[in-house]
Amino acid sequence: MRPKSGGSYLGVYLAAAVILAALVHFVVVLAAPLVASDDAFQRLAALGDVNATVLLPRADPSQEAFPYGDPAVAMSFCRYDLASGPIRVAAPAGRSFASISFHARRGLVFYSLTDKAAAHGVIDAVIGTPEQVQALAANDNEEDPSRDLRVAAPAPQGYVLMRAFSESPSLYPQAEAEAKRLACRPEPMPK
Amino acid sequence: MIAFLKILLTMAAGLGLGLFITAYALSGTSPFDSARVGPWIVSAHAGSMEADPYTRAIIERSGQIPLANGEGIQMIAWTDDAGRMLNSRCVYSVGPRVPAAHYWTLSLIDRRGFPVGNLAARYGFRSSEILRSGGGDFVITVAAEVQPGNWLPIGAAGRFGLALRLYDSPLGATAGEIDRSAAPRIVRTACE
């Protein structure tokens, strides 16, 4: 059937444009985490080496790197790369609220611990790939199994973030000092 | 030739529309993951493995470090209780209670989520430093001009947001768990 005028095809072109728009939209949304070149992981990577603890600048108007930061909370981080083995993370449980969270590279938080989970004043955990966690568990002494908290990471790269709450502005430097004591060290694999 | 131009135009329109919609969708909170408690918006799964693609794209694009669900809950408000956009020319009183949490903070943020500079260098209040009435209730006055009591200054003209963060809270961030009456009210008391 031949349309009477060119205008009759308008609907077809509009529909095609809308379908294309929808496709573009979904592709961009799904691909964003995979191609984001300026996400938190990239911004953190520019600040410190793997396993190095770096204190983040306070959330105030002079810094524009990490939005939605809390000016009352001191933050530090260390990046990890499990390709060379599991990592033991230790953070001091301060006088106020403190927590550590484990972030995979593409913007997913996969675990967190607060000072409530601390033993002897230290929040402590071992992160590894699922295979590394399995290998560590397989090597446990059956009589006296390790009390380590082992967390399997969904991706080999990511970062550990520590938050230390300051109860007043004058205590902020103390919270920063606590955040600086976050430690990420390679954990030996069983032979 | 004309048909070719039409197809080209259609593709350009589709591409442009798609990018525009995407930019808009990723500028706020995820449409699939925002529980509302009065004026407060809670992105329930931003800090978990269950984050939906929109939430993840928003997080990745902005560079923010999400608060893990086990650490606390972040609630953001861009409007007052009546649904009007927060505006620097008005005075707001926020209170009198917050949902259960070991500590909480209330901070003022710009549209991108950063603190706003002000002469008092006051960017937020902590639960541990706030002035309270005898019953434990509090009022934080959000205003550009100096106010008695807990004054949270609005440092710049235009729109702004309020960020309430609950640390070590027994509540889950899932919708419905936070009671409307437990969330602080944002009441506009005056406007220039």
Q: Could you tell me the CATH number of the domain that includes residue A97?
A: 2.60.40.1610
Max mean pLDDT among A28-32, A186-190, B122-126 falls in B122-126
**CB of A78 less than 8 A from some CB of B:** no
Strands of the B124-126 sheet, one edge to the other: B35-37, B40-42, B72-77, B161-167, B103-109, B124-126
Asked, for residue A167, whether it belongs to a domain, the answer is yes
pLDDT > 70: percent of chain A: 95
Rounded to the nearest angstrom, the minimum Cα separation between B90 and chain A is 22
Q: What angle do CA A105, A109, A114 make, to 5 degrees?
A: 130
Asked, for residue A1, whether it belongs to a domain, the answer is no
| pLDDT band, residue B147 (cuts 50/70/90) | very high
**CB of A174 less than 8 A from some CB of B:** no
- Which pTM value belongs to this model? 0.88
CA distance B187 to A94: 36
Q: Which residues face B188 on adjacent strands?
A: B92
Do residue A124 and residue A156 come from a single domain?
A: yes
Size of the A and B interface in Cβ pairs below 8 Å: 196
Q: Is A68 within 8 Å of B9 when comparing Cβ atoms?
A: no
pLDDT of residue A140 exceeding 90, the answer is no
**CB of A123 less than 8 A from some CB of B:** no
Asked, for residue A67, whether it belongs to a domain, the answer is yes
| pLDDT band, residue B88 (cuts 50/70/90) | very high
Identify the residue among B58, B71, B150 best suited for mutation to test binding to A, counting A beta carbons within 10 A and taking the highest. Answer: B71
Distances (CA, A) of A106 to A36, A40, A178, B74: 9, 9, 27, 20
Asked, for residue A191, whether it belongs to a domain, the answer is no
* Count of the separate structural domains present in chain A: 2
Do residue A90 and residue A134 come from a single domain?
A: yes
Q: Is B6 within 8 Å of A13 when comparing Cβ atoms?
A: yes
Do residue A148 and residue A60 come from a single domain?
A: yes
Distances (CA, A) of A112 to A81, A109, A117, A163, B72: 18, 8, 10, 11, 10
CA distance A45 to A135: 29
Asked, for residue A48, whether it belongs to a domain, the answer is yes
Rounded to the nearest angstrom, the minimum Cα separation between A84 and chain B is 24
CA distance A80 to B166: 28
**CB of A15 less than 8 A from some CB of B:** no
pLDDT of residue A190 exceeding 80, the answer is no
Residue of chain A minimizing CA distance to B124: A71
Give me the residue from A63, A99, A169 closest to B71, CB to CB.
A99
Please give the domain boundaries of chain B with CATH numbers for all domains. 34-51+68-191 (2.60.120.600)
Among candidate residues B154, B138, B137, the one with its CA nearest the CA of residue B192 = B154
Q: What DSSP line would sit under B125-139, residue for residue?
A: EETTT----TTS---
Among candidate residues A68, A84, A127, the one with its CA nearest the CA of residue A103 = A127
For A33, other C-beta atoms within 10 Å of its C-beta total: 22
Do residue A19 and residue A96 come from a single domain?
A: no
Residue of chain A minimizing CA distance to B16: A21
**CB of A9 less than 8 A from some CB of B:** yes
Span A102-133, pLDDT tens digits: 999 887 899 999 998 888 889 999 999 999 99
Give me the residue from B57, B128, B163 closest to A167, CB to CB.
B128
What residues in A contact B129, CB-CB < 8 Å? 167-169
Q: How confident is the model at residue A21, as a pLDDT?
A: 92
Q: How confident is the model at residue B160, as a pLDDT?
A: 95
For residue A86, what are the contacts with CB-CB under 8 A and spacing of at least 6? A126, A127, A128, A129, A132, A133, A136, A150, A186, A187, A189
Q: How confident is the model at residue A82, as a pLDDT?
A: 95
Do residue A75 and residue A22 come from a single domain?
A: no
Residue of chain A minimizing CA distance to B75: A68
Q: How confident is the model at residue B44, as a pLDDT?
A: 79
Do residue A154 and residue A129 come from a single domain?
A: yes
What residues in A contact B102, CB-CB < 8 Å? 97
CA distance A7 to A10: 5
Do residue A47 and residue A90 come from a single domain?
A: yes
Among candidate residues B104, B110, B114, B119, the one with its CA nearest the CA of residue B71 = B104
- Residue A77's domain comprises 40-186
Q: What is the mean pLDDT of residues B111-125?
A: 93
For A12, other C-beta atoms within 10 Å of its C-beta total: 12
For chain B, the distance separating the N- and C-terminal CA atoms, rounded to the nearest angstrom, is 60
Q: Are A46 and A76 in contact (CB under 8 A)?
A: no
Q: Is A167 within 8 Å of B70 when comparing Cβ atoms?
A: no
Do residue A59 and residue A150 come from a single domain?
A: yes
Q: Are A161 and A54 in contact (CB under 8 A)?
A: no
Q: Are B15 and A20 in contact (CB under 8 A)?
A: yes
Q: Is A106 within 8 Å of B60 when comparing Cβ atoms?
A: yes
Rounded to the nearest angstrom, the minimum Cα separation between A128 and chain B is 17
Q: How confident is the model at residue A189, as a pLDDT?
A: 83
Q: Is B21 within 8 Å of A25 when comparing Cβ atoms?
A: yes
Distances (CA, A) of A128 to A45, A109, A161, B152, B192: 19, 15, 16, 44, 57
CA distance B170 to B186: 23
Q: For residues A76 and B58, which has the higher predicted lDDT (pLDDT)?
A: A76
Among candidate residues A141, A156, A144, the one with its CA nearest the CA of residue A190 = A141
pLDDT of residue B65 exceeding 80, the answer is yes
Q: Is B22 within 8 Å of A29 when comparing Cβ atoms?
A: yes
- Torsion sign, CA atoms B148, B97, A114, A54: negative
Q: Are B55 and B22 in contact (CB under 8 A)?
A: no
Both structure tokens of B181: 């009456």
CA distance A125 to A113: 9
Both structure tokens of A71: 């000016």
Q: How confident is the model at residue B173, as a pLDDT?
A: 58
Q: How confident is the model at residue B39, as a pLDDT?
A: 93
Do residue A85 and residue A98 come from a single domain?
A: yes
Distances (CA, A) of A183 to A66, A76, A95, A153: 22, 10, 18, 18
Q: How confident is the model at residue B172, as a pLDDT?
A: 66
